Structure 1
Amino acid sequence: MRVAVAPVLDDHIVGAVTQVGAQLVDIENAQVVVWIGGPEGFPELPDGVEWVALSTAGVERFVDAGVLDDKRIWTNASGFYADGCAEHALALLLAGTRQVIASTRTRWAKDAVDPAVRTLRGSTVAIIGAGGIGRALTPMLKACGATVLAVNRTGTPVAGSDVTLSAERTDEAFARADHVVLAAPDTPDTRHLINDRTLALLKPHSWVINVARGPLVDQTALYRALTDGVIAGAGLDVTDPEPPSPDDPLFDLDNVVITPHVANPAGRLTVEMAPHLADNLRRFAAGERLASVLAVGRGY
């Protein structure tokens, strides 16, 4: 098996390649290309490349750049970074419901903070786009005593969840949930999934957490809902645009926390990716189906 790692040689990725006994070669002689980076500078691929492994979970920029083709297998890193993203989603949700955010922005304002503290015990949390992140987040939420309502494209049951609904029943999920975690890809169907109408389906104590993609949220609508008391708060690790403007009004709200797209920190990307890549390389060598294969026509 001949594998090229580009545009840079990363120690963790090279280690995964050599671990499975593959030969490290240049792209011209490769069967497999592991691309660590974005679409900028992506090369013309020779016909001998049978599989391209991308290092990102989101592939919207590759789709927009016209990089993907139907001549070979393409995989992304969907699920590779799920544990860290799930931890971050839970941290944002707890920071909101336990009023950690409000407490850090005030000085011992017990009379204001105390009545707003809520628990996840007995609550229902809807995970929209319950793929790898959703599967990792589900047991964490269950450990906190929450009921998990998973939403995915087909309605195929998500292990550990209490209820799984198909994407066409997303409105039902919003209406039943106390809190919502967004973990869906950015597609035409999910753009502005959070909007004036869907926010109105939530409850005044609801928190909306986004560790997926910024365009899933209509931020103007979100601002209105936050300032009008339609929902209790929001935790955003991604925004639209990204980064947000320094004077974005969301920064000024006491019921919002924005982290700078660090649920999957860049410094750990190849560390987290390496074992999954090694497993996929073994599958490829054995002629087995690869994990995280892209449906090129759908863009994810």
Structure 2
Amino acid sequence: MPHTRVPAIHLGPEYDPALARGIEAGGGRLVPLEEAEAVVWKGGPDSFPERLPDAVRWVQLPSAGIERWFAASLIDDDRVWTSAAGAYAPSVAEHAVLLLLAGVRGLGEQARATSWRKAEFETRVGTLHGATVAIIGCGGIGRAMIPLFRAFGAQVLASTRSGTPVPGAVETVDASRNAELFSRADHIVIAAPATADTAHLVDADALARMKPAAWIVNIARGSLIDTDALVRALREETIGGAALDVTDPEPLPDGHPLWSLPNAVITPHLANPSGGLPGLLAEHVRANVERFAAGEPLLALVDTERGY
């Protein structure tokens, strides 16, 4: 993609060598904020400038989930904003498949066992081969999961806001049909953005629709699942189990029931381990700076009306 100009990019709140290389590889040059026409931000909303220069036409945010930025009323319509949606998709997709496998294969309870209980555990070990997995909110992360699930012999039902067909899924429905997927799928993966519309997307009714052996995985945001309803379903064993990388509340307090329930697997929000984030974000930044320099549409544009 040829560069038509060299855009002036401010990197904040402090210098980061990986992001600096990404900006320069994309054809940009690093400048102070007052000289910038675009901003690449590594920090959170608390450290963001109260006011940006009028010349700033684009802001690149560091995360895929940007609800905190909307809550802080920082995202406006005065310029283009992009998130990191899609940048971390391979890592998160890998973790989601790991969590579902851990649930289906009964790994959580076996890993906590202190005695040889083969006869007991053998009846609880399932397989993804031949299973149907529904991905609720099948964006970049969900799409990265599809070939992984297919490699295990599972088929995918996809739910998106628009219902536009997702490559690799055997069927795609729009979000209004999510309840149908909870009934049809053998397992559910939650990958939707956190907005006012998706709060408690998984409530008592959705959990009641799930099959008795179904596992639910959440690698999105904890607010998408009604935790109290989930705990009841797990205690009553109306579903197979839950594997969560995100929780509500988060961090999950010591002594919370989810820690001790045998049909729950918890990881502490590390589907995106910090060690790999700079390189993945730097590649996303490089691609967007290159597009910005060439006047091409940017990746992961934020929709201010939808909230992501």
Q: Deviations over 1:31-85 (max 9, x none)?
A: 1100111100210101100000001001100000000010000000001000000
Are 2:103 and 1:92 equivalent residues in the alignment?
A: no
Structure-2 separation of matches of 1:193 and 1:9: 39
The alpha-carbon deviation at position 194 of structure 1 amounts to: 1.1
- Could you say which residue in structure 2 is the equivalent of 1:23? 29
- Could you say which residue in structure 2 is the equivalent of 1:32? 38
The alpha-carbon deviation at position 128 of structure 1 amounts to: 0.4
The alpha-carbon deviation at position 254 of structure 1 amounts to: 1.2
The alpha-carbon deviation at position 222 of structure 1 amounts to: 0.3
Structure-2 separation of matches of 1:198 and 1:77: 29
Are 2:13 and 1:10 equivalent residues in the alignment?
A: no
TM-score, scaled to structure 2: 0.96
Structure-2 separation of matches of 1:158 and 1:232: 27
Identity %: 50
Structure-2 separation of matches of 1:45 and 1:246: 41
User: Gapped runs of 5+ residues in structure 1?
Assistant: none
From 86, 107, 110, give the equivalent of 1:103: 110
Are 2:77 and 1:70 equivalent residues in the alignment?
A: yes
- Could you say which residue in structure 2 is the equivalent of 1:144? 152
Q: Indicate conservation of the 8 Å contact 2:26/2:288, yes or no.
A: no
Structure-2 separation of matches of 1:253 and 1:75: 39
Superposed, which structure 2 residues align to 1:244-259 within 5 Å? 244-259=252-267
SS at match of 1:246: coil
Structure-2 separation of matches of 1:3 and 1:267: 25
The alpha-carbon deviation at position 230 of structure 1 amounts to: 0.9
Q: Deviations over 1:151-180 (max 9, x none)?
A: 000000111111101000000111110100
AA matched with 1:15:
R
TM-score, scaled to structure 1: 0.98
Superposed, which structure 2 residues align to 1:78-227 within 5 Å? 78-106=85-113, 107-227=115-235
SS at match of 1:33: strand
Structure-1 separation of matches of 2:157 and 2:26: 39
The alpha-carbon deviation at position 182 of structure 1 amounts to: 0.5
Aligned Cα root-mean-square deviation (Å): 0.8
- Could you say which residue in structure 1 is the equivalent of 2:52? 45
The alpha-carbon deviation at position 19 of structure 1 amounts to: 1.4
- Could you say which residue in structure 1 is the equivalent of 2:4? none
Q: Deviations over 1:197-222 (max 9, x none)?
A: 00010011000000000000111100
From 265, 268, 272, give the equivalent of 2:276: 268
Q: Deviations over 1:180-204 (max 9, x none)?
A: 0000000111111111100010011
SS at match of 1:61: helix
SS at match of 2:243: strand
Q: Could you list the runs of 4 or more consecutive aligned residues of structure 1 that deviate by over 4 angstroms after TM superposition?
A: none
User: Gapped runs of 5+ residues in structure 2?
Assistant: 1-6
Higher relative contact order (CA 8 A, sep 6+): 2
